Structure 1
Amino acid sequence: RDTNALMERGLSRIADMVNHRRGPAVVLGACVLLMLATAYYAQGIQIGDASPGSTVFWQDSEYNQDAAAITQRFLGADHLFVAVASDEPDTLKQPAVLQHMSDFQREIGLFPEVAANV
């Protein structure tokens, strides 16, 4: 109930602010600042984990240590598959699509965690 009351008070204040003369500009400015701040901090977010093994286990688990040893000695035990899909027929025959796939392959190959790509 405390959370609902707090939310109700906050939304009520925003509604009161918007109904005043400069309120919409203040709310819009706050939203723009919030959007810029999130865009700035989102650049540092890492999505996924390219470490050998499984994220289900601790990094120092026996399974992950074995996977790291296999990856060090061989091409790698973990694979990433990328599927390209479209509703249009023969999409994969289009030069622009093939170029995007080639660009993606080249870009992903620049990561040090990627042993090889085909």
Structure 2
Amino acid sequence: MMQRTIRFALAAMLCAAMLLPTAPAIEAAGDEHAYIADIEDLPLMDGLDEVPEAGVSFDKPVGRIVEAFAHGAVDRQAVRAFYRRTLPQLGWSRDEADRFMREGELLEIYYLGADGDLTVRYTLQPR
């Protein structure tokens, strides 16, 4: 009887484990982020909203070229810390302060405006 109970418990745990999501978590569990429309795996920090009418996107034979903007009542250091912490989880490596590289692409992040009324500009291009 005890072995049957143990087998049942193990089977139940295996089934539960199979139902868990397998995608890597960004930040802590439970955090959901929006993403830049034309850079589908570039998350937006909480507090930022994409400004879709300001961006442009081109697909070239050598790679994609994207310029996107987001705006929010956030400060530059918080945004910088978010991307330095999050982008390496998505395969990006930091080259310079706000410049990241991955698989032949270069992502640069610029900050326009003042803290509390900040616009973030993202440029993605082939390297």
Please tell me the TM-score bracket, short chain as reference.
Answer: 0.3 to 0.5
More helix by share: 1
Query: Rg bigger for which structure?
Result: 1
Q: Which has the higher strand share?
A: 2
Higher relative contact order, structure no. (Cα contacts within 8 Å, ≥ 6 residues apart): 2
